[in-house]
A = this chain, B = another copy of it.
Amino acid sequence: MEENRQVFEVDEDAYGGMNVHIKESMDSIKFIALLRASISQWTNQGKKGVWIKLHIEYAHLVNDAVKEGFWYHHAEATYLMLVYWIPQTPHTIPANASHRVGIGALVINDNGEVLVVQEKNGTFKGTGVWKLPTGVVDEGEDICDAAIREVHEEAGIKAEFVELLAFRQSHKSFFGKSDLFFVCMLKPLSYNIQKQDSEIEGAQWMAIEEYAAQPFIKKHEMFNKIAEICLAKKENKYNGFSKVLMTSAFSTKRTYLYYSQNS
């Protein structure tokens, strides 16, 4: 019994990984003693991966874990996840998140006009380019919902998701991470623009042809192709992917599958 009190409490996952969650402050001496005793016991038990989730308030233990052979797996604002692999074989630790996800919203009104904005910051600042509303998909947010949210935030327009038109994958867009950008078509449910002042310089309804004819758009192959898709969509000559809510017999998760329903 005495010996059991000297190892960390853990949750064991389905892959034999031991998950340590430090819940109380401790000094390096106690942390290292517990860690060594725990690893020793788990080695004897044939365990494999060891995860330590260290809240930022326990940052003083990061160096101790690293000195014991742990490395970094990922971090969020309030914690650092460290990982260690017990066997002599190559580790099978899953990869960290690799992509940021963004959306662009094509909102076409009944007059065949598209909602466009000018941004106060970023690449297009001061260029006079009118662009589709864009934004980053929040953690845990559906792509379709992110498009609706950004259109409402940037221009005060309520809208509903119609179709996913296209997407782009690019690399090394920030800190070596990759980027997925989804162009979503939305149907507006309101028409009076109320632009957000902090990020948006201007917002208006513009003829799609005028949007597509901007020199910046014409010069840039991808923007030009997306503009062509917008023009085709206005004429009902393009079919993207619909979103369909999927249920599962195995979990209560709500998951969207995006696929073509017009083929």
Contacts and interface: CB of A to CB of B under 8 A. Distances in A.
A174 B17 CA distance: 13
Interface in A26-50: none
Interface in A239-263: 239-241, 244, 246-250, 253, 255-260, 262-263
A258 B182 CA distance: 10
A168 B257 contact: yes
Contacts of A262: 239, 263
Contact of A259 (B97, B225, B259): B225
B246 A222 contact: yes
Contacts of A225: 244, 246, 257, 259
Interface in A176-202: 176-178, 180
A169 interface: yes
A206 interface: no
A260 B259 CA distance: 11
Interface string A136-178: 1111101100000000000000000000011111111011111
Per assembly, the copies of the chain total 2
Contact of A238 (B121, B165, B250, B260): B260
Contacts of A219: 249
A213 interface: no
A220 B250 contact: yes
A138 to B, nearest CB: 7
9 contacts: A75-B81, A76-B176, A95-B136, A98-B99, A99-B137, A142-B169, A167-B258, A180-B180, A226-B257
A220 B253 CA distance: 13
Interface residues of A, number: 77
A73 B100 CA distance: 14
A15 B249 CA distance: 47
Contacts of A1: none
B171 A253 contact: yes
A161 to B, nearest CB: 13
A249 B257 CA distance: 34
A248 B220 CA distance: 6
A258 B139 contact: no
Given A97-B100, A143-B169, A239-B263, 9 more contacts: A59-B66, A73-B77, A74-B75, A81-B175, A97-B97, A140-B176, A220-B249, A225-B246, A241-B241
A177 B200 CA distance: 29
Contact of A71 (B56, B66, B67, B263): B56
